[in-house]
Amino acid sequence: MLARCAVIILMLSCAAGARAERQTGDLPWPMFAGNPARDGNSRVAFPAATLGRLWKSSAPDVVYQYRDGQTGSSASIVSVAGKDMVIAGSYDRSVYAYDAFTGDPIWRFTTGDAVTAAPCFAVIDGEPMLFVASTDRTIYALNPLTGKQRDSKGGQMWTHQLYKWADTVAPAFVGDPMVAEVDGAPVLFVSMWINDKKSKGNVQESAVYAFEPASGRLLWKAAVGSGFATAPAFGQVKDEPAIFVVHAAGAVHAFSARDGKPLWREPFATQYEIRSGVSFAEVDGRRLLFFGSRLFSAVCIDADSAAPVWDCQVGTWVDSTPAVYRNGGRTAVIFGDYHKVLHSVDALTGKRLWSYQADGHFCASPTIIELGGRAAVAMPCLDDHMYIVDAEDGTCLLRAYTGGFLWSHYQRGAAVWSSAAAAKLGGQPILAVTSYDACVYVFGLGGRDANVGAPSNSFVDALGGKLAALIFGAAVAAVLVYNVVRIARKRNAGGGRAV
């Protein structure tokens, strides 16, 4: 009975939140994947089929060696006291807040190491709060208006260090934090892998942590394993509010959101690594979990029993956290892979619906929007572009240039790149993506052209824009060969006359 009451309270609170959004017209994007289920749905509609770039942020002050991780976190998009903001973490150890429509910097907060997990926004007991999880092993509660650890009344906000930090030891791997309602009260969840490689006191520990968001008091901690854990997702196991988290060694765990106790007899185990996060959805009365695997497939399991439902083989790694797209009676799961393909499959059977081929790896997470009256998928790609693809048939609607990688090359599979965030603030829809050039790009209606538009033809699109470079290179080579041959002939001709 208590469990059913908790679920009813959660549904009522979500409905109240939805009513508030409809009344204000705002559709914020407060955390990674948009919501605690991590399903990637934004409900944001762009009335025109073509977008332009509204602004691009400056590069970080400090850009140093490449390492596993990201150059920046996925963005959160929120409105606080009339200020519309895009907030994102950065490789330079800082979190930045920008004006959502002009790109003007509002504030900067610096931590002890890179911030690669998306900041999480929530209103707690009437107080707007921003939660930042840094790879310095610390969770910070900030005032989102000022970027300071002072609330609107001047009180001190909290900091919780999960393990003592020093520059002589390795940084943590952090799963994107989220706030979800549990039994009518908000709870902050975050996963973190503590990786201390000192010769004495070596620690390799991954866990999910639950905090009281107003005070930072630790409610519970659930051990995951010795490898890193991805972003936690919120859902249900039968009538119990649940937290799902992936252990990179190849397992999915389910914990009670109330006390952190395991909800399955044993974790769901695969035979190889998992780097994807998990997304939760109810489809035709079934509670399902979706995630990618490095055993060359996307996987669906039953959330109540941990029993496998389907395994869609794609022949390469899937690090993309799947998005869930609903259209009437059909629900589709959308994800990308390292064969440079974006896939859509039936959520209940895993049967392929469509696929789209690009020129770079798809390892970010898809975001569902509406573009010009058509449901669409926004997906950053490792060919320096963000693609927007029709969610019904996989047709490419447009692609936008989002900057080149900072170094000469990236290590395949060593990093999970940032995903797009979509929101509507003050009636204006925007789409933000933190690129691997360490800058934030924001697109919207009326922005200037930034190589935004549908590919001119499928052949050029399949080459990812490299056709012109190939032609230019071939032309340069032909000119060089021609000149070498011409000079050689002149020398031979000159030598013949001398004899």
CA distance 415 to 173: 11
Whether the predicted pLDDT of 46 surpasses 60:
yes
Tell me, what's the pLDDT at 262? Answer: 98
Tell me, what's the pLDDT at 465? Answer: 45
With DSSP H G I counted as helix, E B as strand and the rest as coil, what are the percentages for the chain, rounded to 5? 10, 45, 45
Indicate the average pLDDT of the chain.
Answer: 87
Per-domain boundaries in the chain:
2-465, 471-499
CA distance 416 to 434: 12
Burial of 428 (0-12, 13-18, 19+ CB in 10 A): middle
Please give the helix or strand (H or E) that residue 489 lies within, else none: helix 467-498
Helices first, then strands: H and E counts in the chain: 3, 33
Confidence tier at 199 by pLDDT (50, 70, 90):
low
pLDDT in tens, 115-170: 999 999 999 999 999 999 999 999 999 999 999 999 888 899 999 999 887 656 67
Tell me, what's the pLDDT at 469? Answer: 55
Confidence tier at 293 by pLDDT (50, 70, 90):
very high
- Average of per-residue pLDDT across 100-124: 96
- Average of per-residue pLDDT across 258-277: 95
Query: Which stretch of 73-82, 191-200, 393-402 has the lowest confidence by average pLDDT?
Result: 191-200
- Average of per-residue pLDDT across 21-38: 84
Q: Are 344 and 354 in contact (CB under 8 A)?
A: yes
CA distance 404 to 394: 25
Tell me, what's the pLDDT at 250? Answer: 94
DSSP string, 29-46: B-STTSSTT---EEEEEE
Pairing of strands 233-237, 217-225: unpaired
Query: Which stretch of 185-194, 312-321, 327-336 has the lowest confidence by average pLDDT?
Result: 327-336
- Average of per-residue pLDDT across 353-381: 95
Q: Domain 2-465 classified CATH 2.140.10.10?
A: yes
Q: Show the tokens assigned to 280.
A: 């939760």
pLDDT in tens, 368-409: 999 999 999 999 999 999 999 999 999 999 999 998 887 777
Whether the predicted pLDDT of 84 surpasses 90:
yes
CA distance 194 to 205: 5
Whether the predicted pLDDT of 30 surpasses 80:
yes
Tell me, what's the pLDDT at 63? Answer: 62
Burial of 348 (0-12, 13-18, 19+ CB in 10 A): middle
Strand order in the sheet with 240-247: 233-237, 240-247, 251-256, 268-269
- Average of per-residue pLDDT across 333-356: 97
Query: Which stretch of 166-175, 226-235, 373-382, 462-471 has the lowest confidence by average pLDDT?
Result: 462-471
Confidence tier at 449 by pLDDT (50, 70, 90):
confident
Whether the predicted pLDDT of 336 surpasses 90:
yes
Confidence tier at 36 by pLDDT (50, 70, 90):
very high
Percent of the residues in the chain that have a pLDDT greater than 90, as a whole number: 68
Tell me, what's the pLDDT at 446? Answer: 85
Between 11 and 97, whose confidence is greater? 97
Tell me, what's the pLDDT at 16? Answer: 38
pLDDT in tens, 310-326: 999 999 999 999 999 99
Phi, psi of 16 (to 5 degrees): -65, -40
Tell me, what's the pLDDT at 494? Answer: 62
- Average of per-residue pLDDT across 11-32: 60
- Average of per-residue pLDDT across 188-201: 84
